[in-house]
């Protein structure tokens, strides 16, 4: 008879809730399932906090119809929430990524509004809230992450008013004119107002949110404070809505870049590309918000106009797979691959490809080698909550070299002001920025990069997480007084 897990019903003082658990399932040499830590900024930001507070992480394990008990991995307690194939199709691929994602990214693609998707979103958010309420100790801090779970804060507050609840939105929050298109807009606002602190990447995002609160709820707002009146016997309360720009583990990228094996790999990459004078690099999820098409258009025109030559300049484009079951993403992949093929067919010289295209992900160490090899980093997002790739590039450039071309529509543009800022819709302006980056003097490159690096190391991921949690603590203390 198997002994019961003595921790199965344990409760925790700190709980993170996100759509995905911070681990990926893989098979070892014996065919056994093992869990490895997922790459990404959120995991790097919260892992130390989780271990410090002996916390739990609630999330979906990443495969449909996988029913798991809570388990430990990398020193963290993980609490799975199961999703059926129908949940994945309607809650995740549907409402989260074909309704909210395009709507919150300035309707770059047209969002779909289906009631079945909304019903699935409500159902899954309730499941996450119920699972969280089970594992949260009395008076615990619960930190809910991102747009897939916007109803969870209110559901938790209704079930567990003892909890201190934070919510952080990693993607943009749209202007009211766009947000008002959502048939269930008031439900989303009600859901978010269940939190004590609602965090955003930029001042503009928190401003859009407070405007939506005023328009839809009529609540008074003053600066970052939203006054929630007493209702149904519940006391009045105040919600804080403000920016907490996320960042990266800057020290990891610097230290990795300084390793001799990584530096040797960077030299090898340049050699494999034919040792061109300039390597330009784009690293993105294959998503229509990232401006990959605009980047390719500008680069292709520079080649066709003879302003650059494939013997001198090569563009390396890493486009990691994303939401491959969603048709708009399938169409984007087809379009990008056709464009890359056409540019290479028209412009490549013997032994010199114009574009080196890679439709897969790389380990972080390989990415750091790519950052070191690249003379120019292209971040041309049409809309982005932050864009951590820009910060990763800067943190990796311990040599104070390299030029960052950065879209003004990425959240990172608020902080990285010494980048070459561009409007990616302005193709001529983007082309001129590429030429300016290629021709920039070593002195100016070093000046700009030193400034960028100071900012990335001052405002690292630890500052982001501690800043948000401090705001939650202060709010909790103020509420008790």
Instruction: Give me the catalytic one of 105, 146, 170, 284.
Output: 170
Residue of 384, 459, 460, 475 with catalytic role = 384
Pairing of strands 355-358, 313-320: parallel
Neighbours of 349 (CB within 10 A): 11
Beta strands in 81-153 (DSSP E): 136-145
Phi, psi of 358 (to 5 degrees): -135, 110
Q: Residue holding tokens 């202007």? A: 175
User: Catalytic site residue 384?
Assistant: yes
The verdict on whether 359 is a catalytic residue reads no
Identify the residue whose tokens are 């980048």. Answer: 419
- DSSP string covering 232-290: TTBPPEEEEEEE------HHHHHHHHHSHHHHHHHHHHHHHTT--SEEEEEEEES-GGG
306-309 LR contacts (CB < 8 Å, sep 24+): 307/431, 307/435, 308/278, 308/434, 308/435, 308/438, 309/349
* Cβ atoms of residues 424 and 381 within 8 Å: yes
Q: CA gyration radius for the chain? A: 23
Residues ≥6 apart with Cβ < 8 Å to 230: 236
**Packed helices 327-347 and 292-304: angle between N→C axes, nearest 10 degrees:** 10
User: And the tokens for 238?
Assistant: 């105040």
Residues 6 or more apart in contact with residue 378 via CB below 8 angstroms? 280, 281, 282, 295, 315, 405, 434
Burial status of residue 415 (CB atoms within 10 A of its CB: 0-12, 13-18, 19 or more)? buried
Nearest to 430 by CA among 402, 408, 452, 453: 408
Cα dihedral angle (4, 35, 141, 154), rounded to 10 degrees? -100
What tokens were used for 470?
A: 């401090």
Structure tokens at 335: 């379009």
Phi, psi of 54 (to 5 degrees): 50, 55
Yes or no: say if 178 and 214 are a contact pair by the CB < 8 Å rule: no
* Short-list 430, 163, 463, 129, CA closest to 300: 430
Angstrom distance (rounded) from CA 175 to CA 434 = 31
The phi and psi torsions of 405 (rounded to 5 degrees) equal -95, 120
Task: List active site positions.
Answer: 170, 384
């Amino acid at each position: 008879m198997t002994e019961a897990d003595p921790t199965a019903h344990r409760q925790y003082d700190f709980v993170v809730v996100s759509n995905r658990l911070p681990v990926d399932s893989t098979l070892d040499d014996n065919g056994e399932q093992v869990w490895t830590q997922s790459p990404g900024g959120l995991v790097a930001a919260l892992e130390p906090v989780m271990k410090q507070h002996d916390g739990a992480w609630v999330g979906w394990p990443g495969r449909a119809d996988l029913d798991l008990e809570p388990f430990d991995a990398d020193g963290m307690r993980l609490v799975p929430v199961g999703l059926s194939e129908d949940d994945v199709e309607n809650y995740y691929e549907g409402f989260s990524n074909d309704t909210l994602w395009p709507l919150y990214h300035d309707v770059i693609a047209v969002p779909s509004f289906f009631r079945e998707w909304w019903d699935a979103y409500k159902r899954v958010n309730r499941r996450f809230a119920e699972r969280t309420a089970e594992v949260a100790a009395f008076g615990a801090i619960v930190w809910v992450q991102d747009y897939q779970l916007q109803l969870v804060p209110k559901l938790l507050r209704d079930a567990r008013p003892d909890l201190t609840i934070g919510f952080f939105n990693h993607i943009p929050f749209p202007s009211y004119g766009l947000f008002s298109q959502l048939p269930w807009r008031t439900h989303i606002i009600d859901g978010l107002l269940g939190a004590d602190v609602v965090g955003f990447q930029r001042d503009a995002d928190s401003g859009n949110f407070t405007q939506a609160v005023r328009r839809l709820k009529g609540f008074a707002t003053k600066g970052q404070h939203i006054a929630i009146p007493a209702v149904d016997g519940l006391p009045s309360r105040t919600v804080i809505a403000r920016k907490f720009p996320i960042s990266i583990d800057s020290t990891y990228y610097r230290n990795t870049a300084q390793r001799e094996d990584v530096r040797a790999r960077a030299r090898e990459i340049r050699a494999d590309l034919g040792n061109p004078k300039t390597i330009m690099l784009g690293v993105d999820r294959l998503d229509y918000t990232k401006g990959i098409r605009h980047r390719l258009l500008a680069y292709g025109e520079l080649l066709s106009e003879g302003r650059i030559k494939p013997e001198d300049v090569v563009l390396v484009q890493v486009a990691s797979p994303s939401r491959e079951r969603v048709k708009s993403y399938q169409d984007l992949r087809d379009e990008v691959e056709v464009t890359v093929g056409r540019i290479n067919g028209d412009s490549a010289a013997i032994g010199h490809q114009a574009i080196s295209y890679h439709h897969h992900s790389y380990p972080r160490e390989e990415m750091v080698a790519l950052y070191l090899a690249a003379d120019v980093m292209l971040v041309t997002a049409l809309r982005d909550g932050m864009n951590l790739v820009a910060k990763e590039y800067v943190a990796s450039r311990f040599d104070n070299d390299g030029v960052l071309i950065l879209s003004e529509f990425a959240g990172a543009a608020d902080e990285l002001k010494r980048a070459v800022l561009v409007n990616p819709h302005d193709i001529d302006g983007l082309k001129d920025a590429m030429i300016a980056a290629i021709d920039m003097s070593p002195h100016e490159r070093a000046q700009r990069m030193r400034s960028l690096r100071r900012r990335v190391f001052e405002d690292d991921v630890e500052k982001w997480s501690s800043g948000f949690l401090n705001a939650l603590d202060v709010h909790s203390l103020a509420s008790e007084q």
